Chain A
Amino acid sequence: MSLHDFIALSPILTLGAFALVTMLAIAFQRHHARIATFAFLSCLFTLATVPWAATVVPRTVTTLLVVDRHALLYMGLILTTTMVIIALSYRYLIIQFREEEGVEEYYLLLLLATFGGLVLTTAAHFVSFFLGFELLGLSLCSLIGYLRTRRHPLEAAVKYLLLSITASAILLFGLALLYFESGAMTFQGVGAILKQAHSVSALWLGGLVLVLVGIALKLGLAPFHMWIPDVYQGAPTPITTYIATVSKAALVALLLRFATEVGVLELPAVAHLFSLLAVVSMVTGNVLALLQQNVKRLLAYSSIAHFGYVLVALLAGGPPAAEAVTFYVFVYCAMSLGAFGVVTVYSSEAGDKNRVEDYQGLFWTRPWLAAMLALSLLSLAGIPVTAGFIGKFYAIMAGVDAGLWWLVLALIANSVVSLYYYLRLIVTLFGEVAAPATLPEAQTVQMPAYVSWTTVCSLGFVASIILLLGVYPEPLIHLIRDSVSNLLMVAMQRP
Chain B
Amino acid sequence: MSLWLLILIPILAAPFAWMAQQQSRSAPRWITLGALSVDGLLALFLGTGNHAVQASGHVAWLVESRVSWIPHWGISLHLGLDGLSLILIVLTAVVGVVATMASWTEIQSRVGLFHCNVLLALGGVIGVFLAIDLFLFFFFWELMLVPMYLLIVIWGHAQRRHASFKFFLFTQAGSLVLLVAIVALALLHQQATGHPSFDYADLMELTLSPEMARWLMLAFLIGFLVKLPAPPFHTWLPDTYTEAPTGATIILAGILAKTGAYGLLRFTIPMFPEAMHEITPIAMGLGVVGILYAAVLACAQTDIKRLVAYSSISHMGFILLGTFAGTELALQGVVMQMVAHGLSTGGLFLLAGALEERYQTREMGLMGGLWAVTPRLATMALVFACASLGLPGMANFIGEFLILFGSYATQPMMIILASLGMVMAAIYSLGMMQRTFFGRQQDTRSVSDLSNVAFGTVLLIVALQIWLGLYPRVVLSTAQPVMNQLVQASASSPTMPHPPSESLLSSHLTTSQGSTP
Q: Mark A residues whose CB is within 8 Å of B.
A: 378, 383-385, 389, 393, 396-397, 400-401, 408-409, 412, 415-416, 419-420, 423-424, 427, 430, 472-474, 477-478, 481
Contacts and interface: CB of A to CB of B under 8 A. Distances in A.
A132 to B, nearest CB: 32
Interface string B62-88: 000000011111000000000000000
Contacts of A420: 165, 169
A383 B142 CA distance: 7
Contacts of B72: 474, 477-478, 481
B179 to A, nearest CB: 7
Nearest to B186: A397
Given A393-B179, A396-B183, A424-B165, 14 more contacts: A396-B179, A396-B180, A397-B183, A412-B177, A412-B179, A415-B172, A416-B169, A416-B173, A419-B172, A423-B165, A423-B169, A427-B153, A430-B153, A477-B70
Given A383-B142, A384-B138, A397-B183, A427 B69 contact: no
B154 A430 contact: yes
Interface stretch (B143-151, B320-328, B417-425): B143-151
Contacts of B180: 396, 400, 408-409, 412
A397 to B, nearest CB: 5
Given A384-B139, A423-B165, A473 B70 contact: yes
B243 to A, nearest CB: 13
Nearest to A397: B183
Contact of B70 (A383, A389, A474): A474
B142 A400 contact: no
9 contacts: A378-B146, A385-B143, A396-B179, A416-B169, A420-B165, A423-B169, A430-B153, A477-B70, A481-B72
Contacts of A477: 70, 72
Interface string B134-178: 000011001101100110011000000100110011001100110
A385 B141 CA distance: 11
Contacts of B172: 415-416, 419
B187 A401 contact: yes
A488 B177 CA distance: 32
A409 B149 CA distance: 25
A415 B179 CA distance: 12
Given A420-B165, A427-B161, A477-B72, A383 B145 contact: yes
Contacts of B138: 384
B44 interface: no
B73 A397 contact: yes
Contacts of B70: 473-474, 477
B459 interface: no
A397 B179 CA distance: 10
Contacts of B176: 412, 415-416
A365 B150 CA distance: 17
B184 interface: yes
Contacts of B146: 378, 383
A477 B72 CA distance: 8
Contacts of A423: 149, 164-165, 168-169
A463 to B, nearest CB: 15
A408 B154 CA distance: 34
What class of interface size applies to chain B in its complex with A?
Answer: 20 to 34
Contacts of A481: 72
Interface string B333-370: 00000000000000000000000000000000000000
**Residue among B164, B169, B179 with max Cβ neighbours from chain A (10 Å):** B179
Contacts of A472: 69
Contacts of B179: 393, 396, 412
A415 B190 CA distance: 26
Contacts of A427: 153, 161, 164-165
Contacts of A385: 139, 143
B155 to A, nearest CB: 10
Nearest to B170: A416
Given A384-B139, A397-B73, A481-B72, A419 B168 contact: yes
B447 to A, nearest CB: 27
B69 A474 contact: yes
Contacts of B183: 393, 396-397, 400
A415 B174 CA distance: 12
Interface in B104-140: 138-139
A400 B150 contact: no
A478 B153 CA distance: 39
Interface in B178-232: 179-180, 183-184, 186-187, 190
Nearest to B187: A401
Given A400-B187, A474-B69, A389 B142 contact: yes
A271 B252 CA distance: 45
Contact of B143 (A384, A401, A430): A384
Given A419-B169, A474-B69, A397 B187 contact: yes
Contacts of B169: 416, 419-420, 423
A448 B190 CA distance: 57
B245 to A, nearest CB: 14
Nearest to B142: A384
A424 B165 CA distance: 8
Contacts of B173: 412, 416
A359 B187 CA distance: 42
Contacts of B164: 423, 427
B196 to A, nearest CB: 8
B463 to A, nearest CB: 38
A472 B69 CA distance: 7
Contacts of B186: 397
B233 to A, nearest CB: 14
A430 B184 contact: no
A324 to B, nearest CB: 12
A412 B190 CA distance: 23
Contacts of A400: 180, 183-184, 187
A423 B164 CA distance: 9
Contacts of B153: 427, 430
Contacts of B190: 401
Nearest to B174: A416
